Amino acid sequence: MHMAILQKIPIPNYFNQPSSDIQLKFLNRLSRSLNNGYSLIDALETIKWDITLLPIVNPILTHLKNGKSLDQAMELARFHPSITSYLYFVRVNGDLDKSIKRCAELFENRLHYQKKFKQVIRYPFILFIIFSILLFFISKSVLPSFSLLFTTEDNQSTMQTAMTIIDILGSTLIFIILAIPIIGISWYFIKRKLSVPFQIKIVQKVPLYRKYVLLNTSYLFATHLKSLLKTGMSLNEILTLLSYQSKLPIIAYYSKTMATGLSKGVSISTLLTEFSLLEKNLADIFQRNSNAEALEKDLSIYASYLTEELNQKIVKTITLLQPIFLIIIGLFIVVIYLTVMWPMFELIQTN
């Protein structure tokens, strides 16, 4: 039964996925219809009244009628992986209404912070472009023109040093502009080919990203564990179930390790302290709870706490980005100013 539930799903092409706003609109409409007592199929039929959602509702209905689960149907309809991975566990816990509602809330938060990040980064990015053009103009036109004014060997040496500094600044700027997106895109595609332990080692070496993954992994583990406890499954069954799924590889790896440890008689609270990308508070929760009902309650509260902390960390990081970028640009401008004026001062002193 578990193997049938956990069968692997082919990875679809996300390059032609519906817009994020459309996906969020769909989730909100589906949540509203389900809360009004409609079945899943009937809820989707009501969503078809909105013509803008027809291109995604019809394929989902077709896939569902062909025997696919909701997360599979939405994955084939090219929904965002964060949505389909969250709804994956509806197959087991059956809590469709709450899962859709919570998924919509999480995706809305994601879009909110993405838009805020774009707003924060837009102005520094424009400055970077203008600054790059200015740097190119100084390097190719201004400084070579200045060099014609210098006749002494010392002046020529100063001019050459200034031009070298400008070239280094230009190369550094181009490297920064190109490196960030290249690293991000490369990591997205390469990480699927890396073993999970190796992925974890890489994540641990990136400070800000490490904290985000720590909080996000802890939140997802607590949330899905809480929802699966409602089904009456034992902890060992839940961990086995989590270890088979492929949508959350770090949680799958940790769950497999925990299931193996439990079979050897090691307590779950002891095992949880060994994982670098899970909060240590999770071990305390398991240590002080001996029954499923109390554990489920504590995990629910703790998941809410993690959500708040994760949101605060994201807001704080985004808020700091703009002044950091502006300071960097300011330093570059000061260096360029001093580099350009330095040969002029040398010329004045010579004359």
Give every CB contact of residue 203 below 8 A, 6+ residues apart in sequence: 209, 210, 213, 277
pLDDT of residue 10: 39
Q: How far is CA 108 from CA 26, 84, 115, in A?
A: 12, 15, 11
pLDDT one-digit tens code per residue, 261-311:
998 888 888 889 889 999 989 988 888 866 778 888 888 899 889 888 888
- What are the counts of helices (DSSP H) followed by strands (DSSP E) for the chain? 17, 0
pTM over 0.85: no
What does the alpha-carbon distance between residue 99 and residue 6 come to, in Å, rounded to a whole number?
18
pLDDT one-digit tens code per residue, 132-159:
777 777 777 766 766 666 555 555 666 6
In sign, the C-alpha dihedral spanning 252, 217, 212, 204 is negative
Mean pLDDT of 122-134: 77
Mean pLDDT of 100-105: 90
**DSSP per residue over 250-282, as a string?**
HHHHHHHHHHHHHHTT--HHHHHTT-TTS-THH
Report the mean per-residue pLDDT for the chain: 82
What does the alpha-carbon distance between residue 141 and residue 151 come to, in Å, rounded to a whole number?
19
CA angle 48, 52, 57 (to 5 degrees): 40
- With residue 187 as reference, give the H or E element that holds it: helix 153-190
Domain ranges of the chain: 20-108, 197-323
| 60: pLDDT strictly greater than 90 | yes
